[in-house]
Amino acid sequence: MPPAVFLLAFAIRAVFLLEWRHLPYIDSLCSDAWANDRWALDILNDGLIRHRAFYQSPLYPYFLAAFYRIFGHAPYAVLWTQAFVDSCSCVLIMRAAKRCFGARAGALAGLAAAFYRPFIFSAALLTKETFAVFGAALFLSLCLRAADRGRRRDYFFCGLAGGAAVLLRSNMALLIPAALFWLWSRRPGPGGHGSAAAGPALALLAGAALAVLPATVHNFAASRDLVPVNYTGGFTFFIGNNPEATGLATYPSGVNSDPLLEESQSSRLAEISSGRALKPSEVSSFWFRKGLGFIAEHPLRWFGLTGLKFWLFWNKYEIPDNYDTGFVSRHFNTVLKWPLASFALIGSLGAAGLFICRFREASGLPLALFTGYLISILPFLINDRYRLPAVVFLFPLAAAAFERLAASAAKREWRVMWKLLLPASPLILLCLSRAPINERSDEAAGWGQLAAVYSGRGEFRRSIDAFRRAAEISTDGLNEAALDGVAYSMRRLGFMEEALVLYKEGSSMYPGSPVLYNNQGTLLLELGRTKEGVEALEKSLKADPDPGIQYKNLFYGCLRLGETEKAMRYGAAAVVRYPGDAGLQRAVRELKEKPRGSK
């Protein structure tokens, strides 16, 4: 059965990858996919040690760098590797379900994983989610094997897998104490629970620590700061716990969702507020304190927000983040249009499966790990890709529940079915109910992203058409990237005034957006409206906690206006940020050498 599940899973993913190659997204890496590719290239060009402690989880970019070193810069080839890895995850899920609930449940779990739409989709993206799913599945499988064999080396390898999972997604660190609690609960001994499990626990912890150690050493070497894995946790916690928090990835004013800008801007805001330079751990602590301050001041509001996150986590709706699974499924003819397994099915059956576990037996491990993962994510924010590792632990539970319900229905044992479904009914209702999400806004955002993608591909008319469809549905879904991309398309097609209007409308929608103000300013300079352009650029400079390109643009703008003092000030800042720009260096040097008062 394992080879059949693997081949079936890989065949489905292979078909989708061949289809994906002909979709516009393949040449336009979005958000985290672009950041991962950029980071991997930076590793190859600049060395293994980063300029600062890791902000994002490091394992996947280093995997990409190793892949590129061997095979060249071939992002599409990486996706085939991910299809292979994801197919292995299906086999691991099948084996774990078989160990917990029997062969039939194992087969059902493996098949459900093979046909699970979000798994298929995420394997085609240059993001870490496929490996995070594999890490969760491997940890579950190795933990079950270690519990069966009882050998310390098995616990050590289990810890290695857990530590590797932490390097992919930091919140997965909570899986380790969840697994230890399960092991402790099922190993009674003459000296008590703790003494009976002390040896295996130490071996597991040693394996996890060894896996994480390279990241910790790197961070100390880069920043002379104790950061175990990365320092994004504090800011992500604040996103999930602040007066404007929605349970989703709603960014505060002054911080762009672009992964590279997010690090510099969130750090700069923390330093401005603190009045001094901060180490990475201090930046994270600053945002954690701000989030905790909100909770202390508004405990009832925080309680309601946490309840909302629980609903979003358990609901069938796949909340889009980098890419929108539902949008691609609806608007492109691919495998995703097939009647595949969804969270509506797995979540509903998994909810019933929670109530047939016996915690002290093997079936209790998926329950323990699922609970640990849920607790690890609720303090932060919810979206589709953050939920994926949790589904690994739901598959065995869903398969067991389906098997029991089907057997009871065949025997017409309605009371047995009722006893199983009744306690799970609140979770099933949360899963199947309509999510408290503006789906029209997400649909518009999908068209907006497509508009930006088309703009990046040079398909400018398609970009404008996609943007118009987005605007017709809901202006709430038009983010900065969409507005900027379409304005760029208009500029390339010669619609300068229309682009200028769009920049201004975008700046009114996102008054804290340095990107829109900057590009509005450059367009105004291009149109010869230099004074207005400089004003827009200065707004961009003021809005950006970590400015760069604005200095260069302002230098040339002020130079054109004849404002020599301002041009010199902006030029001095620009040459620091762009030491490799020979033209800029020469222009600034000539301005300094020019006699005062000369034109």
Reported pTM: 0.91
Please give the single-letter amino acid code of residue 162.
G
Cα angle 536-541-542, degrees, rounded to a multiple of 5: 95
Q: pLDDT confidence of 257, banded at 50, 70, 90?
A: confident
Q: Domains for the chain: give ranges and CATH numbers.
A: 2-230+310-432 (no CATH), 233-306 (no CATH), 438-510 (1.25.40.10)
Distance CA 66, CA 58 (A): 13
Higher pLDDT, 78 or 193: 78
Q: CA-CA distances (angstroms) from residue 447 to 321, 444, 459, 468? A: 14, 5, 14, 9
Task: Identify which of 522, 463, 442 has the alpha carbon closest to the alpha carbon of residue 28.
Answer: 463
> Alpha-carbon torsion 587, 590, 592, 598, what sign?
negative
Tens-digit pLDDT profile for residues 294-353: 999 999 999 999 999 999 999 999 999 889 999 999 999 999 999 999 999 999 999 999
Contacts for 419 with CB less than 8 Å, ≥ 6 apart: none
Sequence length of the chain is 599
Q: What is the pLDDT of residue 516?
A: 92
- The full DSSP string for 139-176 is HHHHHHHHHHH--HHHHHHHHHHHHHHHHH-GGGGGHH
294: Cα separation from own chain's centroid: 24
Q: CA-CA distances (angstroms) from residue 36 to 246, 381, 382? A: 27, 21, 21
Q: Please, are residues 458 and 439 in contact by the beta-carbon 8 Å criterion?
A: no
Distance CA 587, CA 599 (A): 14
Phi, then psi, of 72 in degrees rounded to 5: 85, 175
Cα angle 371-233-47, degrees, rounded to a multiple of 5: 120
Report helix, strand and coil shares of the chain as percent, to nearest 5.
75, 0, 25
Q: What is the pLDDT of residue 194?
A: 45
Phi, then psi, of 396 in degrees rounded to 5: -60, -40
Distance CA 248, CA 244 (A): 10
Q: What is the pLDDT of residue 597?
A: 54
Tens-digit pLDDT profile for residues 146-169: 998 989 999 999 999 999 999 999
* DSSP-derived 3-state class of residue 1: coil
Distance CA 357, CA 367 (A): 7
